[in-house]
Amino acid sequence: MSMNFAAAGSAAPTSADTAAPARSPGYRAYLASLRRDTWIVQGWQLGLVALFFALWEIGPRMGWINPMLTSYPSAIAGTLMKMTSDGSLVLHTWVTLKEILVGFAGGMALGTLLAVALWWSPMVYRIADPFIVVLNALPKIALVPIFYIWLGDMASIYAMAIAVSLFVTVLMLFTGFQAIDPDKVRLVRLFGASQVQVLTKIVLPGSVPTMISTLKVNVGLALVGVIVGEFQAAKAGLGYLITYGSQIFQMNLVMTSIFVLAVISTLLFALIQSVEATVLRRYGSGPSGT
């Protein structure tokens, strides 16, 4: 769509064109159209959110939907206020956030270690490969009751968060390690690099873009692991509030918890994207899409 302006941009140069900051009318029109498109997109997004909340608010009040089933935004806002003032919001959010961060970091660290081990010894990789593939395909959610019995309430949640992200991490990172240009490895070998130095000078720094894609995938997975773990085991946390709220048929509580979860995942994702933007600048390519 922005192509339309290419022809206009190559119009005969005026004297203003020779000065660096001056922009040709065609180029200005092109920039204006880019801005206009952005406004349209953002306008629609805001409008859709507003419409959604408006319908959600009006529907139950007008009796179109049963408020027992959906709750509504003003009730959720009320619940949020109440929970903020009595401190329970901070408590439950903190419990869940801590679990997410620990599970996320644990999955990442353990996954990286395993990927390095596989890279270190091709034989170990060949031996472990089918097991990893099967473990990756296994729905980890099925393990929740077992983890609970084996590990108790707290540890089983961490274990779940790690289990959900671990094998994806291993597979993604190992694939990234293998994609490293062998000539770069040969380069450091020329200077007598040991296997550890090949790892620290080439393989790990060369895999930073892969690590960031893995982080993005893992934030989502760690959230899934933690919430599912909390459904089964927790005495606190947003997942616990969701099960508790649904058991006592308090949709306000359920919806409020889901809302807070959405905020947490958005913030974590934004954090990773800003890390990506700063780190990947030096890797020659900008951040890779969303």
Q: Does 283 bind other proteins (CB under 8 A)?
A: yes
* Buried b or exposed e, range 11-43, using 16+ CB within 10 angstroms: eeeeeeeeeeeeebeebeebeeeeeeeeeeeee
Selected from 105, 208, 224, 236, the binder of other proteins by CB under 8 A is 208
Question: What is d(CA 264, CA 270) in angstroms, rounded to the nearest whole number?
Answer: 10
Shortest CB 179 distance to other proteins, Å: 14
Of 206, 191, 216, which Cα lies nearest the Cα of 275? 216
Site string for other proteins, 165-184 (x = CB under 8 A): ----------------x-xx
Q: What number of other Cβ atoms are within 10 A of residue 185's Cβ?
A: 17
Which positions from 77 through 136 interact with other proteins, judged by CB under 8 A? none
Asked whether the beta carbons of 148 and 156 are under 8 A apart, the reply is yes
Selected from 187, 258, 264, 272, the binder of other proteins by CB under 8 A is 187
The stretch among 113-121, 168-176, 199-207, 258-266 that binds other proteins (CB under 8 A) is 199-207
The stretch among 49-57, 145-153, 161-169, 203-211 that binds other proteins (CB under 8 A) is 203-211
Question: What is d(CA 105, CA 83) in angstroms, rounded to the nearest whole number?
Answer: 29
Shortest CB 193 distance to other proteins, Å: 5
Of 281, 171, 150, which Cα lies nearest the Cα of 218? 171
Q: Does 64 bind other proteins (CB under 8 A)?
A: no
Q: Does 188 bind other proteins (CB under 8 A)?
A: yes
Q: Does 190 bind other proteins (CB under 8 A)?
A: yes
Of 202, 171, 174, 175, which Cα lies nearest the Cα of 188? 202
Q: Does 205 bind other proteins (CB under 8 A)?
A: yes
In this complex, which beta carbon is closest to other proteins, that of residue 80 or of residue 204? 204
Q: Does 213 bind other proteins (CB under 8 A)?
A: no
Start-end of H helices in 62-87: 67-70, 73-85
Binding interface with other proteins (CB under 8 A): 181, 183-184, 186-193, 197, 201-202, 205-206, 208, 282-285
